[in-house]
Chain A
């Protein structure tokens, strides 16, 4: 089953202890990613979507912890890898792009050297590894690759920009530099955490274009984390909608956009402003993001849901397979078929 999968996440659960009790930032998440696939992970801020990405790289900040689940990368469970093996995967096989480029770039090092760092760590360029000033040959080759990738991601005159500091870059250029950093080792998976949120709309489009090019030319699979369903719909093949640490709906873009199954997805679609239909008013989802430390037993969305029944808040809702490759976590689907392999027994905790 998992043979063709590049990355398969099963029952991933990540918790953060807080003063008011344990918070399940990610609760039983299942995801699959094929080579070259574009997966969108959509949800409001604080729903745990960034935590999924950090969990994949095992970079959850202390005292947060992955307590359950498997993260299979090319069939190997990343949770069982040693620290060294994990470091060899980070940046080389799985790379990440962060949300706020200015705070993500180290302000005291020149951009070129920061891009080169991953090359050096993973010894991508072969050659004798002399200690620092003697490693000129390798350094020159690495620098050539850095300049090439800077050009590829659209940083003009890379020769001059190599020795510039992050604060001398514009926001768009900073994000391009971050993308260059992530791509330099040719990863098979790119984790993009709200890569365009901090940018202007026009720059946003450029960056998304760039990421699509990367996907097409290098065959890099991308998990795009965003709060913007529209952006995900434009960019991805598959979308998973997250709410309060759980995936509530999953399916292909067409299915999700044209025929949302979960009320939350419906809500997200309804509150998306569309320029073409100016007279139609945006409909916000009523209520607020739930308190993760005090989630109800049942559906976390129930308090905001217009279809909610009494039962919704009382029983744990399993993932229902609506059609092939299409899942939704809502009691409205009780007449649909239940797929046992998704771990029904594990999910239903009454």
Chain B
């Protein structure tokens, strides 16, 4: 343990506090990694996710072929391990003669971006509204809750398809369509937790010391419930990615110019009889990513929040 440095200036003090906070965070993080080692499946999932993120970030650098322009003379080449395949196109080519491996790697961008952004924005909206509704209750709460109940009357995918129908295809519209209903679950989680936490002694104590509502929410309550939010977020991310792929499969997703796994599967359907790999391989990439995310999410839940055991 270090000795506290002279508290000469406010800046020094702030800096000192920040360092303490950082070291606590670091210790928590190290402890989390240690616990993760007890869950080999979750650890494996986490590593696979990191590999996908790496591929998405450095897609240009790690690929040789173009993801967008194909060579029609090289169309529908089989994967390397099949007869007639070559290592030039390790996973074969599609109907336009584009390298499937390259397109799959680029496709990780769309899926991860959609998954990350929709879940991120949903968490942001859900936590904000859930906090307002659960902490302050009142008219605002009943208003938001009513609206949330209304949104819950729509099955998720159908709502997303409906919104896409009206907004038209496109990356931004996709994010909009998925978050339009995606925040509701986080809202309900945070609202419930807020109401439960608010009646506990430590909140009473914080209020007795004269802290503002904002400070109580941000410093006292949120750190206690954010775990559950992260766990739910991870578990929802897989579903969001599947939904994005489903929409792209129907042609309602991201524009065809962007390589997305869902639209790649759809494009390969016409060649199912002659070239099965065109539609199956992007699906495998999708399956592995979602599987990894779900495994990681399950492990996360076991470590962070064993109470959250309801599946759905």
Q: Quick check: do A and B touch in the complex, using CB within 8 A?
A: no
Interface residues, chain A, with chain B CB atoms under 8 Å away: none
